[in-house]
Every structure is written in C-alpha cells, then in structure tokens.
Structure 1
C-alpha cells in the first residue's frame, strides 16, 4: 500500500519526529491516524525513536494498546498507519474541566483498570514505556483507552543497562530519576501511572513542578521526604539534599476521598522502586473489585 491510498482529512498532532493526520482509507472508508515521519536530517534518514516504536508495537498486540496497522516506506518518505482514536486523556480532562464536569466513578474505575492492564501487558513483554502521561493515552467515545507513543519505550535488558534519565515528562517523573539514580526499571511506569490515576479522579495533575527541584518539593509536600529508613541508599543519590527535611508530609487528605483508590496509589507511590507494587499487583487491588480482567 502507498500513502496515496489515504485521504488526509486534518492535522491532529505534531512532534519532533513527525506530523499526525486524521485520514481515510480510500478503498474502505475507514478512518486511520497517519503519522508522517520527519527525517532527523537530510543524511540520517529514519529517527531512532521511530524504529524503536515500530519494533515495540510489533510485539504489543492488545486491546488496550494502539494498533500499528501498517508501515509505508516509499520515495524516501515513511508513514505509520495507526488505528484512529477520537481524543487523548489530556484533551478529555480539559474538555470536562471547562464544563465543570468530572468523570463518573465507574468511568474512573474503567479507564484506570484498562491503563493498569496496558502497562502490565507491556511489562509482561519486558517493555517499559518511560513516557506515560495523559497526552499519550488515547480515549474513544466509550471511554476505552489505548496506550500510545512508544518512541521512548525500551525493551528491558539483563543486566539492567544505564539509561538516559531525561525521559518521562516532569509532572509524571518518579523520584529516582529526579534524584539522579542511574539505573531504573519498569517501576518508573508504575509511579507515572499512579500520577495519572489520581488525575483521572481529581481532574488535575497531582505534582505540577516547574523544575526538577520544584517537582521534588511538590512530591515531598504530600509524601514527605525519603530517608534511608524508607529507601536504602537514597541519601547518597546525586541530587538528594538534606536541607529539604523541613517538609512535613500532608498525605492525600482532601485530595482523594475514595479509600480504595487511596490505598491503591499509596502502594504505587512508594519511594523505594523495589517496594512499589507492580502493575499486575495493582490489578488485584480492591479498587478494581468486580471488573472483569482483559486478556487480549
């Protein structure tokens, strides 16, 4: 198939590595999202993030993860053809907030469960996303979610390699990255996921820092400052600062009024990455009682 088989309808997104269009397949009339890849330079060709995204999505076939339908490569141009989903979680939250509306409790549980399922599926394939945020979570008109944008995703290696810390959008970035930890694993996604579950419930990001230091301060205000007792080795991390010890722990009082959700996110917001529950364990929590598991 070639790019001319699709009719571009409108531009729906643009990033460093490409432009995304809402498009229609001429033969079938089906809507798709068409991502036109922008070369890194005249000589370098396809960006590494695009190659990574293609390889990861070939491995990730699940109802909660965006489907890559086709890769078109012709005339030095590359297009990725994805299934089309109406909006993303950030836009949806913004739209509801403008109308002073919140999500119904069962919708909160449904989207949260699907998100945990998507992250658990990635982790079961030894893949961590590394950039979980509402903009990367697509939502259809029935509030079904699809996890998208795997450009920063990584296949886990044994032993764990040192990865770049400049990943995960600041508001969703876990403390081990903010404090300069060089090694990390799939638990970075669990912290980001907890931030998003709270945001779905409150309609507001939980930790809105404007710098790495400010981000840590926002986290400390709610969770307190970590010590060696909470997290062995934390005080030796490059960006740990004892001067911040004056911050008292506020907790989630006044933020989360649902005890089952609060119990869940507290287990995800554990400072020590080794103590954080997994996405799989999160699905077993009481907050999701009565929701059928999603296997495919």
Structure 2
C-alpha cells in the first residue's frame, strides 16, 4: 500500500475544525467503494473503525488492518463473535451469533458515518452490557417483529433489555436531511438481512444532494 500520512482517529482528535458534511460524504463514499470490493470478493473486514481508516494528504482514504478479516462463503460457517472493536460492534455479535456476514461491516460503517457527522463516537460503551444498552437507547428495543430470530440468539437471556419503543436517531441528528437519516437507519437495521449493503450505500440519494461531496481531494 502507498504511504498514508494519517488515520481518521488521530485527525478527528487534532483537527482545529471538524470535517464538513461534504467532506464526510467524500470519506464515506471511498470507504463504501472499498467495502463493496471486499464484499464482492467474499471478504469481511470485521474491524472497521476510524483508527483503521487511513488518509493521504490528498484526501484519499484506504481501509487498513486486516488482522481480523475472514473469507466467507455459502453455507456460512461459524466464526468467533468476539470481533469488531466494541463501539462499532453490531448487535448480533453482542448477542452471540455464530454466523457472520458482510452486514457486520455495514453496521460498523454506520457508526463511522455517525462519528464523522457528530465529531464524537456514537456508541461509546464501556462494556458489552453497556454497549447493548446504548444501542437500545438509540434505536429502541429489538423484538421478533422487527428482527426474526432475535429471541433465539445465544446471549439474549443474559441481557435485561430496557423497554424503549422509540428510534432516537432524528433527535441525535436533528440537522441531518431525510436522505441522511434514511441511510443511517438502513445501516442500523437490527435484522442483519435487511441492513444496507455497500452497493445500497453507494446508491443513496444522500450522496447526490447538497452539500455535494468534493472529488477525492479534501
């Protein structure tokens, strides 16, 4: 790989002014293209986060650190659920699923997009229990209705989920357009089978509305 001067985590910490929404779109589009390539080649990254996204001084973004990446196929084989850094870990991983698909990368991408927009981590849990609770506070309590098979996940009985009927994404991002909220909601679908794919993300109208993403140079 060519040399990249910085990673997004250190940039977010040290930038005097945050990324603009147009710049955020530029970054996320590049990550989506990378994920689409990986997923089309049957690779799950399994540790997507801002510190694993490198950026050149020209604004070119590269996904790095494939230490947890795995090839997957059909039928889907069991994999250890103890992957993906806690703040970016999808709910099915937290609840002990043994099968993993590209949807875990897409959940993590939703966390990255939200972090870039909010200029701070979206779900900074201190433990797995706390992480699940933060997700429920943000998106509402999952159920069989919206996530068939949820109640059969191995670790569901270990959690006492708070009763929270509301999706609070709009309250967290009151200034975000309808298209932006729609994209976040698709990335944060509880049911992994309904979660947006990288191809869905690239087609999102959010990237086609103003402020438009600049070319690769930030």
Q: TM-score, normalised by structure 1?
A: 0.67
Q: TM-score, normalised by structure 2?
A: 0.90
Match of 1:193 among 109, 126, 133: 109
Q: Give the secondary-structure state (helix, strand or coil) at the position aligned to 1:207.
A: coil
Match of 1:272 among 167, 188, 191: 191
Q: State the partner residue of 1:239.
A: 155
The residue correspondences of 1:218-257 to structure 2 (distance < 5 A) are: 218-241=134-157, 243-256=160-173, 257=175
Deviation at 1:251, TM superposition (A): 1.1
Query: Which stretches in structure 2 are left out of the alignment for 5+ residues?
Result: none
| 1:150-179, Cα deviation, whole Å (9 max, x unpaired) | 111111122111001111000000000000
Q: State the partner residue of 1:177.
A: 93
Determine the C-alpha separation between the residues in 1 that align with 2:191 and 2:215: 28
Residues 107 and 143, structure 1, Cα contact 8 Å, conserved in 2: no
Match of 2:176 among 241, 258, 264: 258
Deviation at 1:144, TM superposition (A): 1.9
Determine the C-alpha separation between the residues in 2 that align with 1:199 and 1:243: 27
Determine the C-alpha separation between the residues in 2 that align with 1:163 and 1:138: 27
Determine the C-alpha separation between the residues in 2 that align with 1:243 and 1:200: 31
| 1:100-150, Cα deviation, whole Å (9 max, x unpaired) | x22122111100111111111110111110000111100122322111111
CA RMSD between the two structures: 1.8
Query: Which stretches in structure 1 are left out of the alignment for 5+ residues?
Result: 1-66, 68-82
Q: State the partner residue of 2:55.
A: 139
| 1:192-218, Cα deviation, whole Å (9 max, x unpaired) | 011001111111111011111100000
Q: Does 1:87 align with 2:6?
A: yes
Larger CA deviation: 109-118 vs 247-256: 247-256
Q: State the partner residue of 1:37.
A: none
- Greater relative CO, 1 or 2 (CA 8 Å, sep 6+): 2
Deviation above 4 Å: which 4+ runs of structure 1? 290-294
Q: Does 1:204 align with 2:120?
A: yes
Q: State the partner residue of 1:160.
A: 76
The residue correspondences of 1:29-44 to structure 2 (distance < 5 A) are: none
User: Greater share of helix residues, 1 or 2?
Assistant: 2
Q: Give the secondary-structure state (helix, strand or coil) at the position aligned to 2:54.
A: strand
Distance 1:157 1:292, change over 3 A: farther
Q: Give the secondary-structure state (helix, strand or coil) at the position aligned to 2:193.
A: coil
Determine the C-alpha separation between the residues in 2 that align with 1:243 and 1:258: 32
